[in-house]
A and B are shown apart, each in its own frame.
Chain A
């Protein structure tokens, strides 16, 4: 049985209509501000970065070592009590060669975001950037090491690590 489905409604506007002010608009810029508490685990993680150290946690129940650190193991649902100092080296799990920034502005020199599995963890990765002078050379499985900002410039942020660079 076929039935006549009515044409869907909708009034498409072209971008020019907006630019030429053919339609009435109301502009509004939200002024919302947040000051997030970093929490116990990430607070410690960020402090560690300030000291040039990547910190993870180990669940004493299942033995998993993870980064970013957390105060509980999400698989066992038990508190994780052991804080672990991790090396700043790892392996590229996946990556992308990006020619756009956060708000889709086009860039000529690509940024290379990647998930980097940190050594000595149980397959735990971090999102970060790979040094971008040779994008064609980046491969899954490539070994990389963190390039840190000088100690005086570090402020307890993920950007205290400038990027990860291939280990030659």
Chain B
């Protein structure tokens, strides 16, 4: 966290002890093995004896929170943090199982990945897509990651087809990774003063569909639909297919990328797997999706994933994405999903003008 914070403040040209007025962190106790993880955040961010809070969600939620704080007019500079120390968790499975409903679901004794397996089956069937499309997402993202200096394992996809929860295979699941990200937000006046190539937040949205498995939609990512609508409204975007030029979406499981692209409305009414086949989502395509490689390529960083997607869009819009740069993009979208067994996620629309 300290490392990421130092880099972020340097990039912003700010001293956290003097200039940053509020800090918003992201964490979930059971991912840390410590209760009230909020206790352990301030010092390494330069936030001791300052307004600090923790949002128990993905880093994009914290970003939206910081955004709201600045919009109130009471704050000018707010820092946002998220991290993953997945390597501290001996086995993530039992932790995820702990998120299943204790009365109705846990007694069934199945692992949390089965929720993804169920949804994958429903989704693919409803669209007339199949495992080969999911495999193509994996290949695309792993290839993109080879050109990404931040990715943890820069190598092409292997063919691991061992079944986790049919039709979900091991190759469909993004491998875990450690990391930390800090993003600094500033009000317009301050941002222009600092003049460091600011990227503007045009809109944010977040939404939760039913947490109960029994009452949720299994085909569509409704949470992403509603969150996107909220963000587009703020961004005054009426036609996302026209205005969103690239997207970083959650791909914790390969099929999720397809489901999310459709829910976000950035590909119009078309089916995502068809556009995928046509190469539309490739790095050189008309709508690059996950040019960073996503979680499948960079590694899945738990509650940091969404913020990492934001960092990627910022790099792209600043022209700093190096080997995997998408040319001339001005408006991009980052989307997060909180993982199984949730139906919650957030959307951020960013542009460089």
Contacts and interface: CB of A to CB of B under 8 A. Distances in A.
Do any beta carbons of A and B sit within 8 angstroms of each other in the complex?
A: yes
A74 B5 CA distance: 12
A36 B88 CA distance: 5
A28 interface: yes
B85 interface: yes
A36 B31 CA distance: 11
A77 B17 contact: yes
B16 to A, nearest CB: 6
B98 A32 contact: yes
A36 B89 CA distance: 8
Contacts of A72: 2, 43-44
A37 B85 contact: yes
Contact of B46 (A26, A28, A33, A77): A77
A71 B119 CA distance: 45
Contact of A71 (B2, B90, B91): B2
Contact of A76 (B2, B17, B90): B17
B15 interface: yes
Interface stretch (B99-107, B226-234, B316-324): B99-107
Contacts of B265: none
A35 B92 CA distance: 12
Interface of A is mostly: loop
A26 B102 contact: yes
A70 B43 contact: yes
Interface residues of A, number: 17
B48 interface: yes
A34 B33 contact: yes
Contacts of A31: 94
Nearest to A73: B43
Interface in A107-146: none
A28 B102 contact: yes
B87 to A, nearest CB: 7
Contacts of A9: none
Nearest to A74: B43
Contact of B88 (A28, A35, A71, A77): A35
Contacts of B48: 74-75
B30 interface: yes
Contacts of B16: 77
Contacts of A71: 2
Interface in A128-168: none
Nearest to A35: B90
Contacts of B98: 30, 32
B17 A37 contact: no
Contacts of B90: 33-35
B42 A34 contact: no
Contacts of A36: 33, 88
Interface string A16-37: 0000000000101011111111
Interface in B64-103: 85, 87-91, 94-95, 98, 102-103
A34 B88 contact: yes
B17 A32 contact: no
A145 B46 CA distance: 33
A34 B43 contact: no
A2 B93 CA distance: 53
Contacts of A70: 43
A30 B88 contact: no
Contacts of B94: 30-33
A104 to B, nearest CB: 16
Contacts of B91: 33
Nearest to B5: A77
Interface string A37-72: 100000000000000000000000000000000111
A70 B44 CA distance: 9
Nearest to B20: A77
Of B2, B89, B106, most A-chain CB atoms within 10 Å: B2
Contacts of A75: 17, 48
A28 B94 CA distance: 12
Interface in A70-118: 70-72, 74-77
Nearest to A34: B33
Interface string B309-350: 000000000000000000000000000000000000000000
Q: Report the 7 A-B pairs with minimum CB-CB distance, sorted nearest first.
A: A34-B33, A74-B43, A77-B46, A33-B90, A74-B48, A31-B94, A36-B88
Interface of A: 26, 28, 30-37, 70-72, 74-77
Given A33-B91, A34-B90, A77-B15, 7 more contacts: A26-B102, A30-B94, A34-B88, A35-B88, A74-B43, A74-B48, A75-B48
24 contacts: A26-B102, A26-B103, A26-B107, A30-B94, A30-B98, A31-B94, A32-B30, A32-B33, A32-B95, A32-B98, A34-B33, A34-B89, A35-B90, A36-B33, A36-B88, A37-B88, A70-B43, A71-B2, A72-B2, A74-B46, A77-B15, A77-B16, A77-B17, A77-B46
